[in-house]
Structure 1
C-alpha cells in the first residue's frame, strides 16, 4: 500500500505561483475541451470534488448548454473518523446536501441535473473498483467527455475512481480527462511526477471564480474539524487557496 502523501499543510500557493512548469502549461478553451453538444460526465469520489476540481468548468458548461451527468461515488461519510460532532450518520445526510447547495451557487439547475449516487464506501472505493467501473460504463455514451480524478492524485479513492473511469471510458468510446486535486498539496512546483506534457489550463473569469469560492463555502462539514479529538478541517485555508486560482488544470 502506498504511503499517504496528504500530510501537513502541503505546498504553498506562493510556491506554486513561482512554478515554471505551471506557468508554461498551455491554455485550452471550452470548445476544445468539451466540443459543442458533447456531454460532460463528472465523476466525483466525494461530495465536493466536483466543485474543487471542476467548479469553473461546470459553470462554463452550463453557460454553453452542454449536457451534464454527475456521478457521486461515495457519500463522504469517512471524513471525520472518531468524531462525535460529525458522526457517520450526520455526514451521510449532510454531505450530499452540501453538494446540492454548492452546485446551486454555481448556477447549476440541480433539479434538472442527471445525478447518480453510487454510495460506495468512503476511503475504500478500491475494494469496489470493479462495481464502479461497471456503473460508470453503463452510464456512458460514445462521445462523452469523462472528467475523473487523476489516477496518481495521492488519495486512495481519487486514484481508484481515476482507474475505474479510465477503463469505463475506454470501453464506451468516451474520452477521459483527469483532474488533479490533492496533487497540488503534495507535489513540488517542478515535480516530474506530474504529467506536465498532458496538462492544460482552462481560464475562469473573476465572476466564475467568486462563485466557485462561494460554492466551496457550502461544504460546511469539510471546513470544520473536531477540536475535541484534535481533528483539523479537511479543507483548511491552504487547500482552499490552492484550488481557488483563476484557472483549472486538466490532464488530457
Structure 2
C-alpha cells in the first residue's frame, strides 16, 4: 500500500488540484454509468465515505428515481483511539447519526432509502476479505451497479472494501466501479500511479456541489482532530476544499 500524507493547508501540489490529466478526462453521464431501471449500490467503508465518494452521484440518481442501496461496512467508532471526547462507545452511536443528517442534506428520500449497516470494526478490515465478500454478496443481485472505494486507494479499509466489493459484484453478475478518495491527495509527482485511462468525469451543477459540501459538514466528529493525543482531522480542510469541485470521478 502506498504511504499517504495530506497537507492540511490545501495549497500543496496534490493530484486533485495540480495534475494536468484532470482536464482531459472524458465526461460520462449518469445514464451511462447506471442504466435506466438498474439499482445503484454504494458501499462505504466508514460513515462519510458515501458522501465523499458519491455525494453528487447519489443526488443525481435519486432525482432520476433509481433504486438505491447503501451498505455501511463499519460504524467508524475507532477513528479517535484514546479520546475521551470521542470514545468508541459514543462514536458507534454518533457517526451513524451523522450519516443520517448528511444524507438528509443531500436530499435523499430517507423513508425509502435501503440502508444496511455491516457492524464490522474499522481499521481492521484488511484481514477479513472473505467475510467482507460474503457479507456484500448477500445484498447484491445481477444487474446492480456497484460503487466503492478504489482498490489501490492508500487506506487499508478502503482497499479491503474495494477488493471485496469487486469480488462480490463479479460473483453475482453486477457491474463494479472504483471511486478514488485518498489517492487524489497524493503529491502531484505521483500522477503516473493513477489509471487515467479508466477515469471518467461526472459533471455536477452548482446546487449539487453545494448540497454535497453541506452534507460533508454534517460529520462533526471528523472535522476536528485532537492534537494533544496525536489525532488529525479525518476530514481536513484540503478534503473539504476538494468537495467543492464541480465533478466526481470514477474508474470504469
TM normalised by structure 2 equals 0.94
Partner residue, 1:148: 148
Structure 2 matches for 1:223-242, cutoff 5 A? 223-242=223-242
Give the drift of 1:17. Answer: 3.7
* Cα deviation 1:138-167 (Å, max 9, x = unaligned): 111111000010000000000000100110
Q: 225-234 vs 53-62, which deviates more?
A: 225-234
SS of the residue 1:35 aligns to: coil
For 2:28 and 2:2, locate their aligned partners in 1 and report how far apart those are by CA, in whole Å: 33
Decide whether aligned partners of structure 1 residues 137 and 230 sit closer, same or farther in structure 2, where only a CA change above 3 A counts: closer
Give the drift of 1:187. Answer: 4.5
For 1:158 and 1:84, locate their aligned partners in 2 and report how far apart those are by CA, in whole Å: 26
Give the drift of 1:73. Answer: 0.4
C-alpha contact (below 8 Å) 1:47/1:72 kept by paired residues:
yes
For 1:109 and 1:13, locate their aligned partners in 2 and report how far apart those are by CA, in whole Å: 38
Decide whether aligned partners of structure 1 residues 3 and 143 sit closer, same or farther in structure 2, where only a CA change above 3 A counts: closer
| 1:120 equivalenced with 2:146 (yes/no) | no
TM normalised by structure 1 equals 0.94
Q: Which runs of 5+ in 1 are unaligned?
A: none
Q: 184-193 vs 40-49, which deviates more?
A: 184-193
SS of the residue 1:110 aligns to: coil
Partner residue, 1:188: 188
Give the drift of 1:7. Answer: 4.7
SS of the residue 2:192 aligns to: coil
- The total of aligned residue pairs comes to 251
Q: 181-190 vs 28-37, which deviates more?
A: 181-190
SS of the residue 1:169 aligns to: helix
For 1:20 and 1:114, locate their aligned partners in 2 and report how far apart those are by CA, in whole Å: 39
- The CA RMSD measured in Å over matched residues stands at 1.7
Decide whether aligned partners of structure 1 residues 190 and 228 sit closer, same or farther in structure 2, where only a CA change above 3 A counts: closer
C-alpha contact (below 8 Å) 2:40/2:145 kept by paired residues:
yes
Partner residue, 1:5: 4
SS of the residue 2:136 aligns to: helix
For 2:92 and 2:128, locate their aligned partners in 1 and report how far apart those are by CA, in whole Å: 18
Q: Which runs of 5+ in 2 are unaligned?
A: none
C-alpha contact (below 8 Å) 1:18/1:189 kept by paired residues:
no
Decide whether aligned partners of structure 1 residues 61 and 13 sit closer, same or farther in structure 2, where only a CA change above 3 A counts: farther
Decide whether aligned partners of structure 1 residues 77 and 174 sit closer, same or farther in structure 2, where only a CA change above 3 A counts: same
| 1:74 equivalenced with 2:82 (yes/no) | no
Decide whether aligned partners of structure 1 residues 115 and 93 sit closer, same or farther in structure 2, where only a CA change above 3 A counts: same
Partner residue, 1:43: 43
For 1:19 and 1:70, locate their aligned partners in 2 and report how far apart those are by CA, in whole Å: 31
Structure 2 matches for 1:162-241, cutoff 5 A? 162-188=162-188, 191-241=191-241
